[in-house]
Amino acid sequence: MIRSIRSKMVFFSFAFIVLFNAVAIGIYWSSERITNEYSSSFDRFVLLNSISRQAEEWTAATQQVATNPSQETWAAYYQASGEMKALTKKIAEEENQPGSVEMQSYMQLLESLEQNSETTAGFVLQGDIEKYGDKLAETEQSNTYIQESTLTLIDQSLTDYQQLYAQLQERNTAFGYFIICLFATSLLIAAFIAFKFSSSITKPVHELSQAAGEVSRGHFQGEPLRIRSGDELELLGHTFNRMRTDLHTYVGEMEKKAEMDQLMKQLELKHLQNQINPHFLFNTLNTISKMAYLEDAEETSELIGSVSSLLRYSLGNIEKEVTLREEIEVIQSYFHIQETRFRNRLSTHIDIETSELDLPIPRLTLQPVIENAFIHGVEGMEENAEVRVQVRMEDNQIVVRITDNGKGMNERQRQQLLGAGKEPEAHIGHSTGLGMQNVRRRLELFFHAEALVDVASVPSRGTTVTLRMPFREWQTGGQAG
């Protein structure tokens, strides 16, 4: 799945924000918990102290009502009673869970103080001096117990607070270590994420820049880029690979086209300079002259027709492709000329074993090979010279074999003929000015294939030149070239 660099940046930024916010929330929660524990202990101290003070005030108000009842003393009594009851209710709510024995006794003392004070006030209103005197004494005694119990509870709370403070100190120390570890871990994670993110950008960019440098130096066959970043850089890497492959193909095609153009220019130049070798023309014209002298004009006319066909074909547009059928027709004319020249010393044969003769091929493909067979093969033979052309279909290829029984050649000469070394000037035709290397290279460029020409030769026994022309490409895709 291709993700954009922008989405990666958003994701990593979000990860950073979540990470540091989680750390901040953790620190805040722990601090808030410690503060609440501390506040709870402190609020308990304040509440116990308020209860102790308010118990004193309520007891004093009860005494004032008993000794000097008046509107002011009663108002003060009711105010103190209300405040005491509110404090009692508050501590009862805070101590709603089952507590210690001391706290349970303390709550009972508060209830006793409330009962004794209200009973004393009731007897005062009734004017029963004897009874409110006894209850006043009990009220004062309850207040005394409350003061003592409050001091005991405060002392106990201070002891618990000291333990809590020690625990808080230990917790703060551990929390400090935790904060340090958390910060270091967060920093390492952030650094790792930043490194991975930066590497996912800088590494592909570095690989792309190196590959671009190789392409700028003309190296189109380097290892393909393997970028797995999952973003636009991966798409850019695939595109660069395709571009480099296309450039390599395009440059190769341009080089082949340039080579083909160069061969064609050389061919045209040779046509202009030496389209017909003077020695060959002299021999041919001499033969025609003798025939005209010794015979009637019929055979001479045929010979002249063959020469005319050969000249017309050789002088044609070298860049224009022809069919295999046209090449064979020219070979027939060439064979007629040579049979007339050599008479009984030479026999020629053309064996066609396929009907697929409309295959497009480069002009002047077969004739230079035939001429090579005559010039370097059978020309020096006094008798039984033979040149044979066989055309047949083999493995979706049209195979043309030109065989002579001439003097043959050794391995070094065979390699030179195939282009392993510089082609000697002797290996050019007398009517075309073309050599075997030119034929071989034009065939390879035309059909976009190699190893289309093969030469087999045995010294003193003859030579066979095999031309292979892919038929499938022409059949399925039109012209091979």
Mind listing the pLDDT tens digit for each residue in 74-115?
A: 998 889 889 888 888 888 877 665 556 777 788 888 888 888
Phi, psi dihedrals of residue 405, rounded to the nearest 5° = -105, 35
| 118-122, 310-314, 324-328: least confidently modelled range | 310-314
pLDDT digits (tens, 9 = 90+) for 171-203: 778 777 877 887 788 788 778 777 777 776 777
Task: Record the tokens describing residue 457, joined without a space.
Answer: 């030769």
In the predicted model, what is the mean pLDDT of residues 122-133?
77
pLDDT digits (tens, 9 = 90+) for 4-36: 666 767 776 777 677 777 767 877 777 777 677
Report pTM. 0.47
Do the domains at 5-198 and 275-477 have one common CATH topology? Answer: no
Residue 410: CB partners within 8 Å, gap ≥ 6? 459
Residue 64 · residue 72 · CB < 8 Å:
no
Q: Which CATH number fits domain 275-477: 3.40.50.2300, 3.30.565.10, 3.40.50.720, 1.10.287.3510?
A: 3.30.565.10
Cα 107 to chain center, whole Å?
77
Query: In 275-323, where does DSSP find H-type helix?
Result: 278-294, 297-314
In the predicted model, what is the mean pLDDT of residues 213-242?
70
By CB neighbour count within 10 A (0-12 exposed, 13-18 middle, 19+ buried), where does 40 fall? Answer: exposed
CA distance 196 to 192: 6
> What crossing angle do the helices spanning 278-294 and 324-342 adopt, rounded to 10°?
60
CA distance 409 to 176: 97
| Residue entry with tokens 């045929």 | 302
**How do strand 462-470 and strand 453-458 relate by DSSP bridges?**
antiparallel
Domain residue extents for the chain: 5-198, 275-477
Cα 127 to Cα 66, 111, 124, 131, 228, distances in angstroms? 10, 24, 5, 9, 101
Cα 127 to chain center, whole Å?
104
pLDDT of residue 221 exceeding 60:
yes
| Residue entry with tokens 């000329």 | 337
Average pLDDT in the chain: 78
pLDDT for the residue numbered 222:
67
Higher pLDDT, 288 or 58: 58
Angle (nearest 5°) at CA 404 between 403 and 406: 150
- Domain covering 5-198 in this structure, CATH number: 1.20.120.1730
Cα 103 to Cα 140, 148, 321, 472, distances in angstroms? 20, 12, 119, 108
SS3 56: helix
pLDDT of residue 142 exceeding 50:
yes
SS3 465: strand
Cα 451 to Cα 249, 440, 468, distances in angstroms? 20, 9, 8
Cα 126 to Cα 61, 122, 130, 131, 436, distances in angstroms? 18, 6, 11, 10, 150
CA distance 400 to 331: 12
pLDDT for the residue numbered 231:
66
Q: Nearest CA to 358 among 469, 435, 457, 236?
A: 469
pLDDT of residue 148 exceeding 70:
yes
Residue 338 · residue 284 · CB < 8 Å:
no
CA distance 128 to 189: 83
Residue 51 · residue 150 · CB < 8 Å:
yes
